[in-house]
Amino acid sequence: SQKIEQNSEALNIQEGKTATLTCNYTNYSPAYLQWYRQDPGRGPVFLLLIRENEKEKRKERLKVTFDTTLKQSLFHITASQPADSATYLCALEYTGGGNKLTFGTGTQLKVEL
């Protein structure tokens, strides 16, 4: 079965630094990968999508990379702010997956002043 691994330990960084979160997957190759943000007591919110034939995607201070050889995606937040503190989830739809996403467990990011 598909398995997605995200660092379960919280990531603490200082304001202004770049936060880098990792998403590793096994088995089948995904058609595309997504990143979501989840705040306490709320549902996940979509941030970025990257397809298997794309190496990098950017949106404002966010950057996602996708390495299908390493089976890994990196999610970067540059010039981080306390408001970026949240849990970040990666999700994959596998080729032939029937419009279903498989989610990682998420990594909690804490940006400190």
Partner 1 sequence: NAGVTQTPKFRVLKTGQSMTLLCAQDMNHEYMYWYRQDPGMGLRLIHYSVGEGTTAKGEVPDGYNVSRLKKQNFLLGLESAAPSQTSVYFCASSKQEIGKNIQYFGAGTRLSVL
Would you tell me which residues interact with partner 1 (CB under 8 A)?
4, 8, 31-32, 34, 41-46, 49, 51, 89, 91, 93, 98-106
Q: What is the largest CA-CA distance in the chain?
A: 44
To the nearest whole angstrom, how small is the minimum distance from the Cβ of residue 33 to partner 1? 11
State which residue, 6 or 85, has the beta carbon closest to partner 1.
6
Which C-beta is closer to partner 1: that of 80 or that of 107?
107
Q: Based on CB atoms, which residue is closest to partner 1, 17 or 58?
A: 58
Work out how close the CB of 3 gets to partner 1 at its nearest, in angstroms, rounded to a whole number: 11
Long-range CB contacts (< 8 A, 24+ apart) of 69-73?
Answer: 71/24, 71/25, 71/26, 72/22, 72/23, 72/24, 72/25, 73/22, 73/23, 73/25, 73/33, 73/35
